[in-house]
């Protein structure tokens, strides 16, 4: 893959219980494209993944959410898993961090249950999106146009449904992150 993201700094926001493959594969694709990635979390030191049906690996936290600043980053990745976005959407700092990316028009990629945090950050109204099927009603009630497609892009917002969609998700995420800011007005 071409180094299309050289010089870009990408925030990956997670809490305990994120879906392991939804961090590992997109993070590797971003780095292969030349981006510098930072795992940001309310957890200190390490944060534990969920691996399909049980706890997975622990990952190093590069930046504590308490000290992370959205303006230091070019784009945001939100992995899914059920626990992870549920914890994040209840965390005021996490919601403010996500909202700052949206308000600045910076690209955001969210997979599976990741859009739950976008709903709380008021970043979905009027957007065409997809997600894990159980979020359909939540997204629709928040004003999104939910569709059942492997990857959906809307003005710098990239969403996918599940781990099987990761190849398409990674391709569109890199494309949107390379484009940079989008006018979301």
Count CB-CB contacts under 10 A for residue 12. Answer: 25
- Among candidate residues 180, 179, 185, the one with its CA nearest the CA of residue 73: 180
What contacts 20, CB < 8 A, 6 or more positions away?
49, 50, 51, 52, 56, 57
Q: How far apart are CA 183 and CA 106, in angstroms?
A: 9
First and final C-alpha spacing in the chain:
32
Q: Report the distance separating Cα 101 and Cα 148, nearest Å.
A: 25
Angle between helices 166-179 and 20-32 (to 10 degrees): 50
Q: Residues with catalytic annotation?
A: 112-113
């Amino acid at each position: 893959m071409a180094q299309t993201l050289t010089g870009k700094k990408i925030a990956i926001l997670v809490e305990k219980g994120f879906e392991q493959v939804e961090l590992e594969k997109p993070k590797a694709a971003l780095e292969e494209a030349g981006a510098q990635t930072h795992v940001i979390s309310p957890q200190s030191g390490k944060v534990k993944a969920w691996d399909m049906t049980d706890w997975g690996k622990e990952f190093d936290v590069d930046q504590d959410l308490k000290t992370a600043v959205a303006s230091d980053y070019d784009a945001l990745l939100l992995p899914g898993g059920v626990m992870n976005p549920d914890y994040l959407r209840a965390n005021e700092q996490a919601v403010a961090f996500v909202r700052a990316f949206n308000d600045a028009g910076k690209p955001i990629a969210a997979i599976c249950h990741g859009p739950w945090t976008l709903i709380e950050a008021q970043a979905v109204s009027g957007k065409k999106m997809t997600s894990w099927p159980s979020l359909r009603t939540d997204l629709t009630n928040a004003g999104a146009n939910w569709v059942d497609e492997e990857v959906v892009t809307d003005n710098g917002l990239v969403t996918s449904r599940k781990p099987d969609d990761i190849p398409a998700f990674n391709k569109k995420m890199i494309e949107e992150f390379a484009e940079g800011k989008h006018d979301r007005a």
